[in-house]
């Protein structure tokens, strides 16, 4: 009897693992295909948009400046100074008084010459999904340029496609990613697909805050 139950448990575990692998493969391929023709790495080739969305990450990794953060800010500033976006929304986590990704991004953008009235902070971008949906539901932007590393841009473009957002993306310079980071991205892609299937909503919405393009160069 024990052997029968053991076989059933092993069989169930193997079945679950197979289903998970199939779902991970499907999600990865679906997200890659949704980004085809929408990602740019050359600032001179990317079409101009009024708005750019900078996807957040922590400023520091331990005691050191996070290279993902640094390169996203550099990419966003480059787009702005080349006239490829007129206004930047910096979206990230501000879940505590001592952790504020949007303000960190805004300060560094200003250090790179982007004026404060050309930057809007989204303090409730807890996930990529939330940042994307809030651009439409809170800030009234359904056409914009996403700014992050390529793997992140691909996932964001899938979210855009599923939610009737007209987006392109600009790749910040890549950073070395180890096996742990790669594995985490596979599961993030599966989560993005599941969000679409189950109609997930952002954790926070709220009243609309339409952006006025004040800064004219």
Pull the structure tokens for residue 88.
């930047």
Mean pLDDT on 120-136: 96
Name the pLDDT band for 98 (thresholds 50, 70, 90): confident
Could you tell me the pTM of the whole model?
0.92
pLDDT tens, 179-197?
Answer: 998 999 999 999 999 999 9
pLDDT for the residue 1: 63
pLDDT for the residue 159: 98
pLDDT reading at 212 higher than 90? no
Architecture of domain 2-198: 3-Layer(aba) Sandwich (3.40)
Q: CB–CB of 146/170 below 8 Å? A: yes
Name the pLDDT band for 21 (thresholds 50, 70, 90): very high
pLDDT reading at 217 higher than 90? no
3-state secondary structure of 169: strand
Q: How far apart are CA 107 and CA 114, in angstroms?
A: 9
Sequence-separated (6 or more) residues with CB below 8 Å from residue 114: 76, 77, 80, 81, 88
pLDDT tens, 5-18?
Answer: 877 888 888 889 99
The residue ranking higher by pLDDT, 97 or 63, is 63
Closest CA to 193 of 22, 43, 76, 39: 22
pLDDT for the residue 109: 98
């Amino acid at each position: 009897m024990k052997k029968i139950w053991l076989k059933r448990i092993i069989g169930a575990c193997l079945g679950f693992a197979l289903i998970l692998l199939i779902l991970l493969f499907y999600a990865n391929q679906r997200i890659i295909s949704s980004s085809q023709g929408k990602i740019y790495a050359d600032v001179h080739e990317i079409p101009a948009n009024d708005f750019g969305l900078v996807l957040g990450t922590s400023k520091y990794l331990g005691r050191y400046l996070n290279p993902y953060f640094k390169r996203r800010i550099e990419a966003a500033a480059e787009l702005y100074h080349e006239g490829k976006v007129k206004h930047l929304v910096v979206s990230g986590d501000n879940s505590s008084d001592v952790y504020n990704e949007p303000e960190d991004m805004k300060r560094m953008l200003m250090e790179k010459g982007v004026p404060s009235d050309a930057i809007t902070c989204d303090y409730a971008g807890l996930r990529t999904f939330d940042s994307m949906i809030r651009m439409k539901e809170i800030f009234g932007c359904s056409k914009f340029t996403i700014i992050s590393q390529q793997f992140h841009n691909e996932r964001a473009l899938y979210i855009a496609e599923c939610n009737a957002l007209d987006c392109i993306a600009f790749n910040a310079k890549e950073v070395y990613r180890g096996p742990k980071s790669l594995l985490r991205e596979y599961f993030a892609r599966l989560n993005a697909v599941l969000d679409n299937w189950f109609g997930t909503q952002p954790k926070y919405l709220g009243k609309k805050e339409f952006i006025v393009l004040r800064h004219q160069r």
